[in-house]
Amino acid sequence: MDSTHPTAPVRLHSKWLRAAFLLLPVVAVVDYYAGYELQFSIFYLVSVYLATWFGGWGLGVLVALISVVLSLAGDLASGAVYKNELVPWWNCAIAISFYIVMVSVLHRLRMFQRQLEVRVRERTTALREEIQERKKLEQAVLEVSEREQRRIGHDLHDSLCQHLTSAALAGQVLSEKLHQKSVAESADSEQLVGLIESGIDLARSLARGLAPVELDMLGLTATLRELARTTSMRARLNCTLEMPEEVLLEDSEAVVHLYRIAQEAVNNAVRHSGGDRITISLQNTSQGVQMRVTDNGAGLPPEAARKSGMGLHIMRHRADMIGALCEVTGLERGTCVSVLVPTRTTTSAGAASI
Ligand SMILES: Nc1ncnc2c1ncn2[C@@H]1O[C@H](COP(=O)(O)OP(=O)(O)OP(=O)(O)O)[C@@H](O)[C@H]1O
Ligand SMILES: [Mg+2]
């Protein structure tokens, strides 16, 4: 039977049982020298308690019987005289009843305590499994969203961009024809072609944001620069990438997560900060590669005042998955998202794609 089960036999703790049995002769000797008039039941009870708690019901009863015998023998040896010969037997019966009640109560308490321990252990295991399961689910959700973003990016590139390119070419041809015929509207058609070409650029950069092509470290730098450029253009603010020295990071998974964290941090800065400057910086530190996204906006509101979005949570989860440390802190003016990818996942070269 499983020893953790509440009804399993009590595991013997030899140290305490030895103490219970060693204490018996000591108490008996003191009981003898103290004389028959002084009661020593309470001291025998210590051995009974130890034997029951650490050895179970049977050992408790055995020690109780030995205690009664030793106590009676001690009283008789120290010269106890009884008017009626039934008195010592009566005393023994009372003592044994008392000890057995104590043994039963202690045994029940012990069983109850073991049941509680088993229940706590079961709950802890269930909780641990639940946390594990949740982590797996979160990872699956991230993977699905990653895959979906990539799919939309590819579709955008392969369908809308191609379609717009054809439209731009057709517009170009039309514009040239109009120009040859010296029609006044040829300038309008050229403007139309220009608009379609900007549309192509926009769709391409959207596609690249959703599905960056190659993400080795140089690719990450280029992709972050592209992120800064498109953010500046779309949000009409100043977003830049600062990289004072070459930064090397091989772990492909880390590169992907770092890029996604940067994307969310930049989006948050655009949507929530109200600032006009965002800086993405990448640098080597003694502990690893550090990426920081800072803005000069209103700063992070206190936790209670924040909306219950998913972004910050996912950022931390992504960092967790690559063993990185992610901190979102308020600055004197603005907010800083800092991610430190520790050195053990950083090496010298490599490539990854998402
Ligand atoms: N750079 C920032 N400046 C000011 N406030 C911020 C900044 N980043 C986050 N916050 C605050 O923290 C909140 C939570 O951000 P989070 O990214 O988790 O959610 P969200 O952006 O509101 O929604 P989601 O990311 O799910 O689309 C935001 O609603 C905002 O109040
Ligand atoms: Mg967000």
333 ligand 1 Cβ < 6 A:
no
First to last CA, the chain: 52
For 334, the 3-state DSSP assignment is coil
Residues 168, 348: Cα–Cα separation, whole Å: 43
277-284/288-295 β-pairing: antiparallel
For residue 56, the SS3 value is: coil
Residue 42 contacts by C-beta under 8 Å, 6 or more apart in sequence?
none
Bridge partners of 335? 330
> CA separation (Å) from 197 to 96, 113, 153, 187, 208?
101, 76, 18, 15, 16
- Both structure tokens of 17: 């049982």
Q: Report the CATH fold assignment for 213-354.
A: Heat Shock Protein 90 (3.30.565)
The Cα 308–Cα 222 span in angstroms is: 32
Establish whether residue 273 lines the binding site of ligand 1, counting it when its CB lies within 6 angstroms of any ligand atom. yes
Q: 85: CA distance to ligand 1 center in Å?
A: 90
Cβ of 9 closer than 6 Å to ligand 1, yes or no, is no
Tokens describing residue 286: 């003694």
Distance 239 CA to ligand 1 centre (A): 18
Q: Please report which helix (H) or strand (E) contains residue 242, including its range.
A: strand 238-242
Tell me the domain boundaries of the chain: 14-130, 213-354
* Residue 184 CB neighbours (<10 A): 7
Query: Bridge-partner residues for 277, per DSSP?
Result: 238
Ligand 1 atom nearest residue 314's Cα: 18
**What's the rounded Cα separation, in Å, for the pair 312 and 330?**
14
User: 297 CB less than 6 Å from ligand 1?
Assistant: yes
Residue closest by Cα to atom 17 of ligand 1 = 311
Which ligand has the shortest distance to the CA of 278? 1
For ligand 1, whether the C-beta of 261 sits within 6 Å is: no
> Per-residue pLDDT for the chain (354 aa), expressed as one digit of tens each?
444 455 555 556 788 889 999 999 999 999 888 888 888 888 999 999 999 999 999 999 999 999 999 998 988 888 888 888 888 889 899 999 999 999 999 999 999 999 999 999 999 999 999 999 998 998 888 889 888 988 898 888 878 888 898 898 899 889 999 889 888 888 888 999 999 998 998 888 888 778 776 565 567 888 899 889 988 988 889 999 999 888 877 777 788 889 889 989 998 999 999 999 999 999 999 999 999 999 999 998 887 777 777 889 889 988 988 899 999 999 889 999 999 999 764 443 333 333
Ligand number nearest CA of 337 is 1
- How many CB atoms are located within 10 Å of the residue 48 CB? 28
Q: Using the mean position of ligand 2's atoms as its centre, give its distance from the Cα of residue 315 in Å.
A: 9
Helix, strand counts (H, E) of the chain: 9, 5
Both tokens assigned to 78: 């120290």
